[in-house]
Structure 1
Amino acid sequence: MRKTQPLPGSLIQRYHGWKATTFAENAAWYRRLALDGQRPRAMVISCCDSRVHVTSIFGAEQGEFFIHRNIANLVPPCEPDGLRHGTSAAVEYAVTSLKVSQIMILGHSQCGGVQGCEAMCSGHAPELEKPESFVGRWMDLLRPGWEEVRDIADDAERLEALEKRAVLTSLDNLMTFPFVKSAVEAGDLALHGLWNDIVAGTLESYDAQSDRFVVI
């Protein structure tokens, strides 16, 4: 017997509120999305952090974004080794099946995953070094990025630099996927690197020419 529990009453109440208002007022649109299928304009790869609300930041409606979330908004390199790769599968589906025209990597300030990577790489989180740590092995993707920023003396500046390095790591790894690379080179797909300051509400975009993030 599966160990499940009834949904909390507060969530049930909120669902019924949504069904009676937002859903009821947009029933025709929801029906169209269901029957015609999704045609998102862009894929967004963001962090799992509950403070990062992707659709709110861009004022997006249902069906507009294909969203994938993981720890520290990381994309692994293309590794067709027969193992399970949730992020890679999502990227493949977005590019080859949904034909999205944009992929946005959205990093953010106060990222717990990045802070964990910093602690692990600096020797302050031995539990993440254990082979059985899923978080630690995932954050190994960012070890090379930590090596690039480790000498920044100020703690806050170093963490922000590492958060932005996570965005750049994902952008670099996206181009290791043949179907992404060919779509980018054909002009059918554009990649964007973004960083959101969740305290100030600002959004920065990576500018390849200047090799820095600039406030939008």
Structure 2
Amino acid sequence: MIISCCDSRVHVTALFGAEQGEFFIHRNIAALVPPFQPDGDHHGTSAAVEYAVTALKVSQVIVLGHSSCGGVKGCHEMCLGHAPELEKTESFVGRWMDLLRPGFEQVRDIADENARLEALEKKAVLVSLENLMTFPFVAERVMDGSLALHGLWTDIGQGGLHIYDAKADLFVEA
């Protein structure tokens, strides 16, 4: 399974040299995964994760972030107070990007705006990986070794691919 941004510039199958139908792909704004919340509300991403892990029995889940992500930039602007439209209660995008607010707080002090945005794009991947582990059926399969989670970030302008190395706590070039 690949959880990717809905940005049309992120062509998942081409990035991996895969054929159509080889991956179970779920796309949403900024490739975010919410935490496990069985509250009866509609959760498209949570439903896709549940189906992939419990019904399809996928062995790998990849969260794929990317450079120049509009969703992440929106979160950045919202957290800086520059996007009042996203602060409105009825903003679906704003409430979705609330998932990334804690990540913003961790990169807020990076002085260079471009470096801060890239750090927040990568932080979005990590937030999603952390939230995946709140799903009991994901955590159980990770613990028994039948499921692996991976965080990737691609530079869509340069074409580079970076993989999150949990031991080093950083993204390294693939």
The TM-score by the shorter chain falls in which range?
Answer: over 0.9
Give 3-state SS (helix, strand or coil) of 2:24's partner. strand
Measured in 2, the distance between the counterparts of 1:112 and 1:62 equals 26
Gaps of 5+ in 1: 1-42
Deviation at 1:133, TM superposition (A): 0.3
Superposed, 1:11-160 pairs within 5 Å as 43-160=1-118
- Tell me, yes or no, if structure 1 residue 198 matches structure 2 residue 156: yes
CA distance in 2: counterparts of 1:68 and 1:213, whole angstroms? 22
Structure 2 residue runs of 5 or longer lacking an equivalent are none
Secondary structure of the residue aligned to 1:65 is coil
Percentage identity across aligned positions? Answer: 75
Q: TM-score scaled by structure 2?
A: 0.99
Counterpart check, 1:178 vs 2:136: yes
Find the structure with the greater CA-based Rg.
1
Query: How far apart are the structure 2 equivalents of 1:144 and 1:62?
Result: 35
Runs of 4+ in 1 over 6 A off after TM superposition: none
TM, length-normalised to structure 1: 0.80
Secondary structure of residue in 2 paired with 1:199: coil
Q: Give the aligned partner of residue 29 of structure 1.
A: none
| Separation in 2, partners of 1:150, 1:124 | 14
Residues paired across the two proteins, number: 174
- Give the match for residue 124 of structure 2: 166
**Alignment RMSD:** 0.4
SS at match of 2:85: helix
Q: Using CA pairs under 8 Å that are at least 6 residues apart, name the structure with larger relative contact order, 1 or 2.
A: 2
Could you tell me how far 1:63 is from its partner in structure 2? 2.2
